Amino acid sequence: MSQFDTATLAGGCFWCTEAVFNRLKGVTSVVPGYAASKVANPSYQAVCSGRTDAAEAIQVTYDPSVISYDKLLDIFWHVHDPTTLNRQGHDVGTQYRSAIFYHNDEQKDIAEASKEAIGKSGTYKQPIVTEIAPFTNFYPAEDYHKDYYDNNRSQPYCMFVIDPKIQKLLKEYRSDLKEASAR
Q: Give me the active site residues, please.
A: 13
CA pair distance 89, 7, nearest whole angstrom: 24
In DSSP terms, 92 is beta-bridged to 87
CA pair distance 53, 35, nearest whole angstrom: 9
CA pair distance 42, 35, nearest whole angstrom: 10
Q: Taking the alpha carbons of 44, 50, 51, 55 in that order, is the dihedral positive or negative?
A: positive
CA pair distance 46, 59, nearest whole angstrom: 20
> What count of Cα atoms within 13 Å lies in the side-chain half-sphere of residue 101?
23
Q: Which helix (H) or strand (E) holds 166?
A: helix 163-172
